[in-house]
Amino acid sequence: MGNIERIEAEIRALSAEELAAFREWFREFDESVWDEKIEADLRSGKLDALAEEALGAQRTGNKPVADLGVLPMSKRLAELPDLLGSLPKLPETEAEEFAQDLISARSELDTMKVRDSWVS
């Protein structure tokens, strides 16, 4: 039995309380691995072009449509309609521009090679 299979078997044997504790630990662990990866990419300059692109867009007057972030873990799916309803509404012209941006982005994605975001 390999490491992954052994770990899977051990996880399946956990009690509900142990599984909840493991989930919390793994979430924190996974977030720290992600943070370390982003920090390493920042230090190495891998994100410089993206940062410059964002700053350039800001300098020319383009503005983000929305700020994206992680939802708190305490949110439930049943709260989604209220959450979506609380978001700011775009004026019609901006909504149309956003829709066109999405269409363009989807077209670009169709031509891009899919890659694993965890691989440097």
Residue 22 CA to residue 112 CA, distance in Å, equals: 37
Supply the pLDDT for residue 95. 84
Q: Which residues fall within 8 angstroms of residue 40, CB to CB, at 6 or more apart?
A: 120
- Give me the DSSP letters along the chain: --HHHHHHHHHHTS-HHHHHHHHHHHHHHHHHHHHHHHHHHHHHTTTHHHHHHHHHHHHTT---S----PPPTT--GGGHHHHHHTSPPPPHHHHHHHHHHHHHHHHHHHHSPP--TT--
> What is this structure's pTM?
0.43
The structural domains of the chain, with segments of one domain joined by +, span: 3-64+76-111
- How confident is the model at residue 41, as a pLDDT? 85
Separation CA 67–CA 69 (nearest Å): 7
**What is the full per-residue pLDDT of the chain (120 aa) written as tens digits?**
799 999 999 999 999 999 999 999 999 999 989 888 888 888 888 888 887 777 777 677 766 655 666 655 666 777 878 888 888 887 888 888 888 888 888 888 778 776 666 665
- Residue 96 pLDDT: 86
